[in-house]
Amino acid sequence: MDRISELEGFIEAKKRCHMIGIGGVSMSPLAKVLHDRGIPVTGSDMTESETVLDLRGQGIPVHIGHASENVLGAAYVIRTAAARDDNPEVEYARDNGIPVFERAEAWGCIMRHYKNALCISGTHGKTTTTSMCTHILLAAQADPTVMIGGTLPLLHAGYRVGRGDTIVLESCEYYNSFLSFSPTIAVILDVDADHLDFFKDLEDVKKSFRAFASLVPSYTGTVIANADDKNTMDAIDGLRRRIVTFGLSTEADIRARNIETKNGVSEFDVIYKMKPYCHVKLNVPGMHNVKNALAAAASAIVLGISGEAIARGLEAFHGAVRRFEYKGEVNGARVYDDYSHHPSELKALLDTVRTITDGRVILAFQPHTYSRTKALFDDFVRELRRADKVYLAEIYAARETNTIGISSADLAKRVPGAVFCPTFDELAENLRRDAAPGDVILTVGAGNIYTVCDRIVEK
């Protein structure tokens, strides 16, 4: 019996599950999906959070801190990718013959029961594109099951359990977790050098995405790829699968034509087989979101969804939580919060902001992980220098310890005028004092800097 079939047996028998790292962006919706199916679920996480409180509110017990006694009574364990083999709960489970499954294996098990498994991958843009696909599928009344690595206002959550024949999942390459999936449609938005604490280099990242694309069935599956991204096209070069491309270039199978942008709103025609398929009004700014919308439209076209539903779904999309999310004002300055944590994402964010303001851009950035900060240090410096004023919070450790000896103070030394703020209190006070009418303030990072945004916005 393979691991996925073994896990399926536990789920079908409604055996108790313990989840390590249950507060994570893809673990928490998985916990809710299992709980909704009547499976007893417990969990553990390192810190208290709104997500943990929400899980408890739905009747899922969550322990803070990892300890062997948390696993008592569980028939099997599902762990986040960040939970290593020396985690005390993992060690206890294995010492006592309790099977330990990866989070991705659990999603891979669940998606086997759907006719269409739409898996959205890419180094950047996964949450937004998965959210766009969700809007389109709901507009088409497809009643999908959904797993998103963030909160979608339409759902008031990051997941949805539907009764239709389609499941759509945000699919992450970290630790090759998406290689446990069973996509019938595999979307690759872009391929970039990231997660270099796991991947050796860019070529290793490309290899992972090629393996992901190879998971689609040879004759009935489809790979949807970004024709404008050289790394993506390199990754799938020569792959013997049906490939549909999207992009702004004329070579793309599905592309945008007649793009017009005004006040952060883009309108364009989606062209398929050399003919207009639908006209899109997109209410999220930036050319990167035009490309994300094209990827979502391509997914819908492959699924046989009408142009009318694509247009309605995309027009109704106003962004996911922490994706250039407008939070309010302070001293007349507009405040936005964003999840960007890679130099390419910072570039797209700053490009977008410059299209909506002629005023100062004040960037408060919290780097995410020591390894990423070191590996991409010069790229971060290049992008941070584009803001008019930069404040840097200390690096968010996430799954790491600082064996490198690196700090955000090192970035501040390389960015003219940048200010390093070792505490959030100091950062919030600086932002309040500096804010002026016409400014745009950005709180940016994949850690907990969003709490600073919430502090400074005037209620």
Distance CA 413, CA 228 (A): 35
State residue 82's pLDDT score: 82
- The residue ranges of the chain whose pLDDT is under 50 are none
pLDDT of residue 56: 97
pLDDT in tens, 189-236: 999 999 988 999 999 999 999 999 999 999 899 999 999 999 999 999
Q: How high is the mean pLDDT of the chain?
A: 94
Do 91 and 157 lie in one domain? The reply is no
Domain end residue (candidates: 49, 79, 102): 102
Q: Domain span at residue 58?
A: 3-102
Q: Where in 138-182 does DSSP place strands (E)?
A: 145-152, 157-160, 166-170
Do 93 and 166 share a domain, yes or no? no
- Tell me the CA distances in angstroms from 119 to 160, 193, 312, one per residue in order: 15, 20, 22
pTM for the full predicted model? 0.85
- Adjacency order of strands within the sheet including 17-20: 62-64, 41-45, 17-20, 76-79, 100-102
Residue 33: predicted pLDDT: 84
Same domain for 207 and 333? no
The domain boundary residue, chosen from 315, 346, 376? 315
Instruction: With respect to residue 109, please indicate whether it lies within any of the assigned structural domains.
Output: no
Residue 191 and residue 152 share a domain: yes
Q: Are 346 and 444 within 8 A, CB to CB?
A: yes
Q: CA nearest 247: which of 264, 265, 230, 222?
A: 230
Q: Are residues 262 and 337 in the same domain?
A: no
Which phi-psi region, left, alpha or beta, contains residue 18 (left: φ > 0; alpha: ψ -120 to 50)? beta
| pLDDT score recorded for residue 29 | 82
- Which candidate, 286, 320, 450, 447, places its Cα nearest to that of 372? 447
Q: How far lies 105's CA from each of 3, 78, 110, 393, in Å?
A: 8, 9, 9, 35
Please give the pLDDT value at position 308. 98
Q: 261, 283, 315: which is the final residue of a domain?
A: 315
Residues 25, 89, single domain; the answer is yes
Residue 107 lies in a domain: no
In a domain, 192, yes or no: yes
Do 87 and 124 fall within a single domain?
Answer: no
- The predicted pLDDT at position 1 comes to 57
Q: What is the DSSP string of 349-365?
A: HHHHHHTT-SS-EEEEE
Catalytic sites, residue numbers: 126-127, 170
Residues 79 and 122 reside in one and the same domain = no
Do 433 and 327 contact (CB within 8 A), yes or no?
no
CA distance 11 to 5: 10
